[in-house]
Amino acid sequence: MNRKWGDLANKMGTLVEDIISPAIRPVVTKYFDCEITYFSVNVKKKDKRLNLQGEFDVIAVSDEYVFLVEAKSTPKKQYLYEFTDNIETFRKLFPEYGDKRLIPVFASLRFEENMTELATEKKIYLLAYREWEYMDFLNFDKLGQKQA
């Protein structure tokens, strides 16, 4: 029975990723006016030389930007803080994107208002359902494209 609960929990996580990942391309095109030239889901990378490894839910790359997306079924402040640490890991594991502006995106189906404030303070975009639309950035009006 415990295994079935574990399987269900894993599926819930991938369900959220399955809903969010198709939204990335149209949302970033709308807000950042760019074409995604590379798109990958569930990326795992290990660098033995650096003794570093990371897992990334979605990486989307355009000529100017690299969008790093972390998807959570139940977003918590702790996960947002962990994501900020993961951003530094990403930078080290993918130096080939050093010339691009990194746009961190924390995604879920919904967020509480206090998460919007914290993410904006950390310069992280939140992606979730906006009323009855598909997926949208909840704090783009506060961050704009000024995020570096």
- Model pTM score: 0.82
Three-state SS for 148?
coil
Q: Which residues pair with 107 in a beta bridge?
A: 71, 127
- pLDDT tens by residue, 8-49: 555 555 666 788 888 999 999 999 999 999 999 999 999 999
Average pLDDT of the chain is: 87
Phi, psi values for residue 137, rounded to 5°: -75, 130
Domain boundaries, the chain: 2-143
Closest by alpha carbon to 109, among 7, 8, 19, 21? 19
β-pair partners for 102: 66
Q: 2-143 — its CATH code?
A: 3.40.1350
What pLDDT, in 10s, does the model give residues 84-115? 999 999 999 999 999 999 999 999 988 988 89
Angle between helices 113-121 and 77-93 (to 10 degrees): 30
